[in-house]
Structure formats: C-alpha cells, structure tokens
Amino acid sequence: MRPQLSLAPDDGARLAFERDWLRRARQSRRQTLVWSLATLLLLLASVQLSEVTTSAVGAGWTERVADFIDRLFPVLRLDSLFAGRDVTGSLARWYYDLPRWLAAMRETIEMAFVGTVVGGAIALLLAFLAARNLTPHRGLRVFIRRGFDFARSVPDAVLALLFAVAFALGPVAGALTLIVTTVGALGKLFSEAMENAHGRQIEAVKATGGSWILQMRYGVIPQLLPQLLSYWLLRMETNLAIAASLGIIGAGGIGIELDRSISFIEFDTYLAILLLTIACIFMLDMMSELIRHRLTGPSH
C-alpha cells in the first residue's frame, strides 16, 4: 500500500521543500552539463589545433612502428648470453660500450648533485627573504617570488639550449640549468615551509637580542631542518631525471649517449642505455627515500 502523503498536516512546508530540492537538482545538473560541454569543446579545439588528423605521420606508420619495435629489442640467445663481445646474442655485445655509458652516467649524477647543492643553497638564502613572516623587506619579497615563478616557468630544456650557446655544449650548461630550475622550485617550497614555521622559536631568539640572521639560524633552521632536507633530497631525485634528459639536447651526461644511439638508428643500444639509466635512477631514489624516511620518522 502506498503511503498517504497528502494526509500530512505540514503539506505546504513539504511541497516547498520538494520544490527547492528539485530546483537545486536542476541547477546542479545544468552546471555539470555546462562543464562537460566546455571540456568537450576544449578537446575538439585541441584535436583541431594539434593537427593530429592532418599530421605528417600519414599512411604506413603502423609498419614503421612495427619495424621500430622489432629493432628496439636486442638479439639475445640463451646459450651465449654470458659469452664475449664478439658473439652474437650475448649481453656483452648488447652492452658493448658499457664503460663509456657508466662514465656518462657518472657525469649525469655529478650534474644533478652540483645543481641540487648550489641551487638548494641559493634557494635557502632567498627563501628567508621570500617568506612573508620573515622577510625584512616587502618589496624585495615580491621581487624574489616573481623570480622563483619565472625560474619555474621557463622550460628547463630552453634554458639548457641558451646555456649551451654561452658555455658550449656539455655538462656545465646542464649543471647551470639545474641550478636555475632548482632555485625556482625549492625556493617556493622552502619559503612556503618557512611561512608555516612556529613564530615562538623565532620570537625567542629575537627576545634575547639575536640579530635577523641569528633569528633565522636558531629560530627557523632547527625546527624546519628535517622538512627542508626532505624537500632537498626529493629535488635531487627529480634533478637526476632531468639531468639524464638534458643530455639529449647536448647538455652533457647519459642523454648524449641516448641521443647518439637514436641518430645512429641503434634502437637496441637505446634500450640498453635506457635500462641502465632507469636502474641507476631507481637505485639512487631508493637511497634517498631511505634517508628521507629516517629524517621524517617519528624519532627525528
């Protein structure tokens, strides 16, 4: 039996509620529709603009991809896997230039290290000036913040191209690029962390008569050190990946070897170097993650 809705004494109130509810539901549905249409429009415009449909890839690309995949994988034979370099199907033949690649990998790691250390140091100094609650000068703060934004917006590869013109192709251009992007990224993170710092500890140093520099040294750094170090190590991981890729446009390190293998159409070599790079990045990431967990662990 259906409930007798019309018998309720507060019928008017119920109807008003129902009407309001329907209106809200309609409004919400309309909003969803508008957003969906806007998204669809954006996608259609993107397809049109990106020239995907009229792209030069054209016909026959399936064969090309198939051919590429065929060339990508090395010839490996189980029986001669650990044989010398001159035997077809051995690992040694696949990784025929390993010492050189390792040297390039070392260069990549060094670029990332130098870039993160110098960039992190500059970012730390500037972050004190860019944090709202710490800065000694408002105008300076806005200026530095804009600088951080700019350093993060310029694509790293474009910076690397410019540095390569000035400093010649090679790791110096890569390291400088990493310094600039690191200052932008870490400067923002550091200054935001500092804006959330406890004021009491800063006030404590100020109240004893400590100068601004000492307020930063004892009021800010001790309380934020684990967090800042953790950000710094995370950036080291990111920079390692960027350093590996910057070589592709000539800024030193393993990327140069990747680029060379592509221009010689040695796709299996490319895969070899890529796997090597991934392994190195993965191992260093694991190390950094271990340290980060110890830093932010419950025992400090």
Partner 1 sequence: MLELCNLNCRFGDVIAVDGATLTIAPGEMVGVIGRSGAGKSSLLRLINRLYAPDSGEISWAGQSVTALRGKALRDWRRRATIIFQDYNLIPRLDVLTNVLLGTLATRPLLPSLFKYFPPELRALAILELDRLGMADAAFKRTQFLSGGQQQRVAIARAMLQNSEILLADEPVASLDPINAEIVMQSIADINRLRGLTVIVNLHSIDIARRYCRRIIGMSHGRIVFDGPVAALTDQAVAAIYQGVPQRAAPDDPAAEMPLAQMALAI
Partner 2 sequence: MTVALTSALTAPLTALAPLPGDRATLIALAAAKSPRAISLPLAARLKPWLYAGAFLALFIACCIDLQLGPQVLGDGFTKLGAITGAMLPPSDGGNLVHLLRVIAQTLAIAVLGTLFGIIFAIPLGLVAARNIIGNRVVHFAIRRLLDIFRGIPVLVWALIMVAAIGLGPIAGIVAIAFADIPRLAKLFAEALENADERQRQSVRVTGARVSAVIRFGFLPQILPVVLSQCLYFLEQNFRSAAVVGIVGGGGIGYELQERIRIFAFDEVAFITLLFVATVALLDFGSGRLRARLS
Point out which residues bind partner 1 (CB under 8 A). Answer: 200-201, 203-211, 213-214, 217-219, 222-223, 225, 300
| Residue 171 interacting partner from partner 1, partner 2, none (CB closer than 5 to 8 Å by kind) | partner 2
Q: How far apart are CA 252 and CA 249, in angstroms?
A: 8
At residue 16, what is the residue type?
A: A
Tokens 């990224």 appear where? 185
Q: How far apart are CA 50 and CA 44, in angstroms?
A: 10
Within its chain, how far is the Cα of 229 from the centroid? 17
Vertex 58 angle, CA 54 and 59, to 5°: 145
The yes or no reply on residue 150 touching partner 2 (CB under 8 A) is yes
| Residue 214 interacting partner from partner 1, partner 2, none (CB closer than 5 to 8 Å by kind) | partner 1
Q: Are 201 and 219 in contact (CB under 8 A)?
A: yes
Site string (48-87) toward partner 2, x via CB under 8 A: xxxxx--xxx---x--xx--xx------------------
In this complex, which beta carbon is closest to partner 1, that of residue 219 or of residue 255?
A: 219
Report in angstroms how near the CB of residue 78 gets to partner 2 at its nearest.
24
In a 3-state reduction of DSSP, which class is residue 154?
coil
- Cα torsion 201, 207, 212, 215 to 10°: value is -20
Report in angstroms how near the CB of residue 6 gets to partner 2 at its nearest.
26
By CB under 8 A, name the one of 98, 157, 221, 295 that touches partner 2. 157
In this complex, which beta carbon is closest to partner 2, that of residue 186 or of residue 197?
A: 186
Within its chain, how far is the Cα of 157 from the centroid? 13
| Residue 206 interacting partner from partner 2, partner 1, none (CB closer than 5 to 8 Å by kind) | partner 1
Residue 269 tokens, joined: 């070599």
Report in angstroms how near the CB of residue 195 gets to partner 1 at its nearest.
19
State the helix-helix crossing angle for 98-130 and 254-263, rounded to 10 degrees: 130
Sign of the dihedral defined by the CA atoms of residues 242, 246, 248, 253, in that order: negative
| Residue 207 interacting partner from partner 1, partner 2, none (CB closer than 5 to 8 Å by kind) | partner 1
Could you say which DSSP state residue 192 is in?
H
Residues that bind partner 2 in the complex, under the rule CB under 8 A: 42-43, 45-52, 55-57, 61, 64-65, 68-69, 106-107, 110-111, 113-114, 117, 149-150, 153-158, 161-163, 165-168, 170-172, 175-176, 241-242, 244-246, 248-249, 252, 255, 258-259, 262, 265, 267, 270, 274, 277-278, 281-282, 285
